[in-house]
Amino acid sequence: MSAIGLRGHQPRVRRFVGAVAPADAAAAVVRRDAPQPTSWLQIRNEEAAGGNQLRVYFLEADFTANANFIVIEPASEYEGPAEVKEFWVRSVGGAIADAVAVFYMRRG
């Protein structure tokens, strides 16, 4: 990690729901309130074990084509470096009422 990455980050938390069949990409997008991309991202599927999976797409075209996604199992999370401003979600099997994303923004 670079020296700037060691300075810390400003977290931005977004709670969202995952629909099985969102009306369109605009209904499925999760954004944060800052203009710069993140440096780190956490997405947590807070469904109870045995609940529904969450598909995460990092491009709108992938969401539309239902391709190139990661799957977050119930009661688990994705965490890692990601320079994103937004992502799209779709639930598998049923609506997901509780999901959370933590966007870590670089300072300065």
Strand partners of residue 38: 105
| pLDDT 10s digits, 15-67 | 888 888 777 788 888 887 777 788 889 999 998 888 889 999 999 999 999 99
Average confidence score pLDDT of the chain: 84
pLDDT of residue 3: 44
CATH number at residue 31: 2.60.120.10
In this prediction the pTM is 0.84
pLDDT of residue 6: 53
Which has more confidence, 70 or 107?
70
Total structural domains within the chain: 1
Q: Which domain holds residue 31?
A: 3-106
Tokens 């309130």, residue located: 33
Name, in order, each residue with C-beta under 8 angstroms of 101's C-beta and a sequence gap of 6 or more.
13, 14, 16, 30, 32, 41, 42, 43, 44, 87
Which range has the worst mean pLDDT, 9-13, 41-45, 62-66, 78-82? 9-13
Count CB-CB contacts under 10 A for residue 83: 12
